[in-house]
Structure 1
Amino acid sequence: MKILILSTLAISFLFIQCTQNMTHQEETTEEYEFTNHLINSTSPYLLQHAHNPVDWYPWGPEALNKAKEENKPILLSIGYSSCHWCHVMAHESFENEEIARLMNERFINIKLDREERPDLDNIYMDAVQAMGLRGGWPLNVFITPDQKPFYGGTYFPPDQWKKLIVSVSDAYEHKYDQLYESASQFAANIDQSEAEKYGLTDGGVALTLSDFDTAYDSLKNKFDPEWGGMNRAPKFPMPALWNFLLTYSHTSGQTKAREHCLLTLDKIASGGIYDHVGGGFSRYSVDGEWHVPHFEKMLYDNGQLLSLYANAYKLTGKSEYKQVLTGIAQWLQREMLHEQGGFYSALDADSEGEEGKFYVWTFEEVKELAGGDFSVIAEYYNVTKEGNWEPGKNVLRKLEDDKVLATELNLSVTELRDQVEQFNAKALAVRNTRIRPGLDNKLIAGWNGLALTGLCHSYQATGESIFADLATENAAFISQQLVTNKGLVRIYGLDTRGYLEDYAAVIQAFITYYETFFDETYLELARTMTNQVIDEFFDPKENLFYYTSNQAEHLIARKKEIFDNVIPASNSIMAENLHKLGLMYDDESYKKIAFTMIYQVNKLIRQEPEYLSNWASISLLRLKPTAEVLLVGAQAHEQALQINKTYLPNKILMASTTGSSLPLFEYKTVADNETTIYVCFDKVCKRPVNNFTDALAEIHDRK
């Protein structure tokens, strides 16, 4: 579809790529002079803007009706509380009274928290990209009173922002017909079905192992062989992509894929993107060496990285991976845990108006804390007097393997790690006295689901109680506080309907929780929610799920999420959920939907595996039958834990000590008064065995 773009807007105002070291003005401690319509919001992000001179409204009938009544365009500004450049634009432009006056005179101004309303964020991000403009946050979109977009962009410096709002307003007043034609075409473009847009209506294709070999070959050409990850900057962890490499290597026997994945995990864990003092990962690094992070910490990243490092630990037994897992869990427990067991959504990148100030160290600070171990610590964490980032500022990172460095320093690995652990404990205590970054205290269902899945995988891999304790509390929180008789609530404490990403992640988490602790209550909850998703979200014409329920607010488009990104596409997670539940409940309708979804997306997997990596993992596993592993008897849970310590991506695991009414347990009895393990493929079972070692041999012998 040809899109008409107003040249007076598109040519003059391009996205500005700003340097990392820009900092905004210091926050004021004066009494508030202004208060706008955001003052009663619950969103931390909206409350950050409640005292701007801009007359912000939240999204809702009041603002939308006002735009229609006054025939004014709407400025929709979208961000989130831990977004650094959102803060920058707020301080530079939205706190500027002259700019605010222009905005108030010419627009109805709406502020939106993308984490509260990802449905709107998805629509208008698509619109900006359809305009050929760069998307990002803050996302600033100009829309008509009937919600059709006609221009947008991300961060703008104040002088350009002032010129832009005047230009947009003038175009709306004097070139309305042309502008509205453009807006209507953009609206039609984003409302186009995914099947039409990506050619899914032509039918699906079956993939072979050679197709996945080709997909891997296309990916490896983009790898960074020195620092891991993809050969680009900035670098995002992208857990789904590296999980695909592990799955591909396991299925194909291709060791190079596994080697690059493990190199990537080593480099990420050694870089400054990992918080060596307090645990947990930042959202991305601004450079190609995982060194300097964008310091915000997101729950969704860390939940997925728990799963990824747990899988790597199952494969390798490498102690550094277990250390990473423990560090993430301790950070969650210390800084992100709500009293009822849920996890908060994010920590800000900024403190005291400066990005990363909470996390960086001077040479003298490290010297004082390390004492007699200073030379070791400085070498270990690449601390220099000049600073390894900005002048005088050090972002702690490891440049050498512990064994190599210990040899160079004439220490044992144990001695080296003891010194590092002592320093980390002192540094954490000192850091905790600093002014902390802002906390986004929303408890989001889908992100908690990702964290729960990661904790379960970590317990499977390690057997450590910290993961079991956090997982048990979190599962109870989700099931008791977020699951209602009307369905899943997206945000704790608010009357917010869950989106597909929430349902998909929570269903996945409850399935994983069952496969870890074998509480059938959670498996049944997963099944109940899956039935609701099919009733409210499924499009039988395209065999995919909408992002929003049929009970949700009617918007200018009802989207479907297909492409995997920093979070896997909700449709790809649902395909895996349906596949597993179809096996566990022997439900052919679930299996059919899962198969159809995967089959028709296979064409896209061949074209662009990087952005369909979770789909690729699921599709790859369908090349061989999934192992159905069932344990019955007094030691079923203990034996199952041993099986879970092995990396087996293509299995379902079910266990019962006292008997179960689940269909796959029919005729599965205890043999010779010992816990009995059944390994089956397509419901055809091998000879029952009485220990997990023999069961693993039967799983590996499925060829």
Structure 2
Amino acid sequence: MTHKHTNNLIHESSPYLLQHAHNPVHWEAWSQELMARAKKENKLVLVSIGYAACHWCHVMEHECFEDETVAGVMNEHFICIKIDREERPDIDHIYMDALQMMTGSGGWPLNVVTLPDGKPFWGATYVKKQDWMTVLQQLADLYKNEQKKVIEYAENLAEGIRTINLVEKKEGAPVFSMAQLDEAIVQWSSYFDTFLGGHKRAPKFMMPCNIDFLLHYATIRNDQAIKDYVNVTLTRMANGGIFDHVGGGFSRYAVDTKWHVPHFEKMLYDNGQMVSLYAKAFAATKNNLYKKTVEETISFVTEELMAPNHGFYSSLDADSLNTENKLEEGAYYVWTVSELENLLGDDFKIFKDYYNINDYGHWEHGNYVLIKDVPDLEIAARHSLTIEELNATIEACKVILKNERDKRNRPRLDDKILTSWNGLMLKGLVDAYRYLQNDAYLDLAVKNANFILNHLTTEEGGLFHNHKNGTSSINGFLEDYASVIDALFALYEVTFDENWLLKAKELLDFCITNFYDEGSALFFFTAKSDAFVIRRTLEVADNVIPASNSIMAHCLFKIGKLFPKEGYDDLAQQMLLNVQENFTKNAQGYANWLHLVLYYQQNFYEIAIVGNESGVKAKELNAHYLPQTLVAGSNKPTNDLLLLQNRFVEQATPIYICQDGSCKLPVNTIEETLLQVSTISED
């Protein structure tokens, strides 16, 4: 296929950047050399940030960046840079903060105009064609005629960008108390939608790290109200349209309050975390809906997002070609009544009731998004069926729909591989194996872990951030290290293969050397040897993905239990002290940190299993939801880990319950172990 225009993005590997490679805009990829050129030419820089699955990014491309007149304005006045936010989260952090400071809101596409040195002075998200051309011309004129004023504004904004990310090292303060934590949860709960789950708002994001913490908290505190809220949220999400009932997997968020109509893009980072969350919830409740959700989500990921080398791709687009060969959001996933009637025949009446092919399930233009809100028993009774007969009918219908849907034009695949998101998916697979006891999930986890270590590591012992077509080009960010360390430690807990543990420790030590900031006692998002714009970011607030620093604190805490002489636990506690002043007013924004409060303020146990049957006993123990524990073990007489030394006994496999290396007398059964490891707070 010949193209009228081709720009320098043609040399990139990111699918998002390649989507723009034939725009008439003279796009460039971000580089230090390009910024040096901007300074030399004293030319303004236009930075446009998006990602492959972003609907409004595609809309703005079609309306603006594919238009030759618009491109003429952009090329004349600006050095134009396109950035895939998933490849360069370090730059996205800076300009998202800038946009929010300038406009009070954020989102993608994220467009900023900066000075030649990268300091921004204007920003917006989606802008219509005529408005875009007008504002760009005005900004170019403003810089030409009032350059001093523009520079002053940009300098002040840059100072604000630096200031909002400062974290003060707090020394000597006590760890956040349980009374404070209880009060923070009371304040947070005022936002809970106890009927539909999530928060009382639309759109609704799944926020897996929030629900993960609340499951932990409700278990420790035996708080029935929080348990009920967690179960309502998990049930509504799994039954809602945000979950793909035909092909499995979760979309990024729902545009409404009842989890019905999704923004149809499917992201690896969401699905990896949701697998972990639902696996834990299954262990805690034995609710088979949660087990089924885990199984169907992993099925989706392996079918749609897994590379032949067992790395995982990034996302599926929200848009796909409709019957008129035009890109349309959700076209791949929705159904009309006539389609369903023709495909399902006599079973349509049951399916119609089950998935609300009615006003409740209608989206727009005669299209329906499947959503379930009535218990199986009620549907079965309506149609004089047993539960087994109902389930068999629904599963048969879903197979028919899946086969039909496979004939449609598929959503576009973002086939770059990101280390951090693979770490999240790896942790999901480990948790799925741990709590569902399916050996296939462990096999897949080991293959993915080997892919990461064989293809995403640098010669210096660090990690790359990205991988595409056999090559990696971007140095790893803190999020890459944190998620991979966390997943490798979890893999050690279910296999007792010390190679995973030692690799996790090696990467942890690499981070301490290359990312740790003595001034804040936190970790920079970028390595100290890598270039940065305006500031070297400290990522501390948890969001849809937990903050890289909060995951690092978890890793330091747990690995520190097995290597107590390294001082890791001291680092973890100091990190917690530095951010805990935020917990009272904004607990939901620091949910992943809050686990650490429970770790420090409640009994936390190291469970050591040593003997010939260590693997068998560990597997049985790991099926239980025990959030205040870690598990270590070996079937060898000699062990390097302090916790396991001198514990091997011939013809026996004792289990030791320990706190900070001090162990009680051993027990021999899982029942005795569970009795000692009470997960209910005593106060």
Q: Is the structural similarity TM-score above 0.5?
A: yes
Moved more, 629-638 or 655-664: 655-664
Change (3 A) 1:193 1:375: closer
User: How far is the alpha carbon of 1:216 from its aligned partner?
Assistant: 1.1
- Residue 296 (structure 2) pairs with residue 327 (structure 1): yes
Change (3 A) 1:384 1:338: same
Question: AA paired with 1:74?
Answer: V
For 1:419-438, what aligned pairs fall within 5 Å after superposition? Answer: 419-438=393-412
Query: What's the counterpart of residue 462 of structure 1?
Result: 436
- Residue 103 (structure 2) pairs with residue 129 (structure 1): no
The one of 477, 482, 490 aligned to 1:512:
490
Query: What's the counterpart of residue 491 of structure 1?
Result: 466
Q: State the distance in 2 between where 1:407 and 1:617 align.
A: 43
- Residue 585 (structure 2) pairs with residue 607 (structure 1): yes
Q: State the distance in 1 between where 2:32 and 2:607 align.
A: 53
Moved more, 397-406 or 78-87: 397-406
Change (3 A) 1:188 1:697: same
User: How far is the alpha carbon of 1:440 from its aligned partner?
Assistant: 0.5
Q: State the distance in 1 between where 2:613 and 2:360 align.
A: 59
Question: AA paired with 1:53?
Answer: P
Question: AA paired with 2:54?
Answer: C
Q: State the distance in 2 between where 1:122 and 1:207 align.
A: 28
Question: AA paired with 1:665?
Answer: L
- Residue 271 (structure 2) pairs with residue 302 (structure 1): yes
Query: What's the counterpart of residue 76 of structure 1?
Result: 47
Q: Any idea what SS the aligned residue of 1:700 has?
A: coil
1:573-611 CA deviation, whole Å, 9 max, x = no partner? 000000000001223510100011112222111221010
Q: State the distance in 1 between where 2:61 and 2:34 align.
A: 20
Question: AA paired with 1:285?
Answer: A
Query: What's the counterpart of residue 450 of structure 2?
Result: 476
Change (3 A) 1:71 1:661: same
Moved more, 571-580 or 213-222: 213-222
Q: State the distance in 2 between where 1:651 and 1:387 align.
A: 42
The one of 513, 531, 536 aligned to 1:535:
513
**Under a length normalisation based on structure 1, what TM-score does the superposition of the two structures give?**
0.93
Q: State the distance in 2 between where 1:103 and 1:485 align.
A: 40
Moved more, 522-531 or 377-386: 377-386
Moved more, 551-560 or 413-422: 551-560
Q: State the distance in 2 between where 1:534 and 1:385 align.
A: 56
Query: What's the counterpart of residue 581 of structure 1?
Result: 559
Question: AA paired with 2:551?
Answer: I
Question: AA paired with 1:421?
Answer: E
For 1:379-390, what aligned pairs fall within 5 Å after superposition? Answer: 379-384=353-358, 388-390=362-364
The one of 102, 111, 119 aligned to 2:82:
111
1:32-51 CA deviation, whole Å, 9 max, x = no partner? 21111111111100000000
Q: State the distance in 1 between where 2:603 and 2:590 align.
A: 22
User: How far is the alpha carbon of 1:61 from its aligned partner?
Assistant: 3.9
1:45-68 CA deviation, whole Å, 9 max, x = no partner? 000000001111111145323322
1:395-439 CA deviation, whole Å, 9 max, x = no partner? 111121222322232211111111111111111111111111111
For 1:672-683, what aligned pairs fall within 5 Å after superposition? Answer: 673-683=651-661
**Contact between 1:679 and 1:695, CA under 8 Å: does it hold in 2?**
yes
Question: AA paired with 2:288?
Answer: S
Change (3 A) 1:133 1:100: farther
Identity %: 42
Query: What's the counterpart of residue 177 of structure 1?
Result: 148
CA RMSD of aligned residues (A): 1.6
1:180-217 CA deviation, whole Å, 9 max, x = no partner? 10101111121237345xx6558644222211111111
The one of 617, 639, 646 aligned to 1:667:
646
1:374-404 CA deviation, whole Å, 9 max, x = no partner? 1001111112499700121111111212223
For 1:234-313, what aligned pairs fall within 5 Å after superposition? Answer: 234-313=203-282
Question: AA paired with 1:666?
Answer: Q
Query: What's the counterpart of residue 531 of structure 2?
Result: 553
- Residue 342 (structure 2) pairs with residue 368 (structure 1): yes
1:192-246 CA deviation, whole Å, 9 max, x = no partner? 37345xx655864422221111111111111112210000100000011111111
Q: State the distance in 2 between where 1:601 and 1:117 align.
A: 25
- Residue 387 (structure 2) pairs with residue 413 (structure 1): yes
Query: What's the counterpart of residue 143 of structure 1?
Result: 114
1:619-662 CA deviation, whole Å, 9 max, x = no partner? 22211232010111121111111111111111110121124221
Q: State the distance in 2 between where 1:243 and 1:384 align.
A: 33
Question: AA paired with 2:102?
Answer: M
Question: AA paired with 1:489?
Answer: F
Question: AA paired with 2:202?
Answer: A
User: How far is the alpha carbon of 1:687 from its aligned partner?
Assistant: 1.6
Q: Which sections of structure 1, spanning at least 5 residues, go unmatched?
A: 1-29
Q: State the distance in 2 between where 1:475 and 1:105 align.
A: 48
Q: Any idea what SS the aligned residue of 1:38 has?
A: helix
Q: State the distance in 1 between where 2:102 and 2:34 align.
A: 25
Moved more, 58-67 or 430-439: 58-67
1:481-503 CA deviation, whole Å, 9 max, x = no partner? 11233211111221221000000
1:144-194 CA deviation, whole Å, 9 max, x = no partner? 001111010111121221221112112111121111101011111212373
Q: Which sections of structure 2, spanning at least 5 residues, go unmatched?
A: 322-326
Q: State the distance in 2 between where 1:164 and 1:590 align.
A: 51
Q: Any idea what SS the aligned residue of 2:8 has?
A: coil
Q: State the distance in 2 between where 1:587 and 1:236 align.
A: 41
Q: State the distance in 2 between where 1:264 and 1:386 align.
A: 19
**Contact between 2:210 and 2:588, CA under 8 Å: does it hold in 1?**
yes
**Contact between 1:306 and 1:458, CA under 8 Å: does it hold in 2?**
yes
The one of 44, 65, 80 aligned to 2:15:
44
Query: What's the counterpart of residue 359 of structure 1?
Result: 333
Question: AA paired with 2:81?
Answer: I
Q: State the distance in 1 between where 2:566 and 2:504 align.
A: 17
**Contact between 1:475 and 1:510, CA under 8 Å: does it hold in 2?**
yes
Query: What's the counterpart of residue 391 of structure 1?
Result: 365
**Contact between 1:627 and 1:651, CA under 8 Å: does it hold in 2?**
yes
Query: What's the counterpart of residue 57 of structure 1?
Result: 28
> How many residues are aligned here?
671
Q: Any idea what SS the aligned residue of 1:479 has?
A: helix
Q: State the distance in 2 between where 1:80 and 1:340 align.
A: 24
Q: State the distance in 1 between where 2:58 and 2:543 align.
A: 24
Spell out structure 1 runs of 4+ moving beyond 6 A.
Answer: none
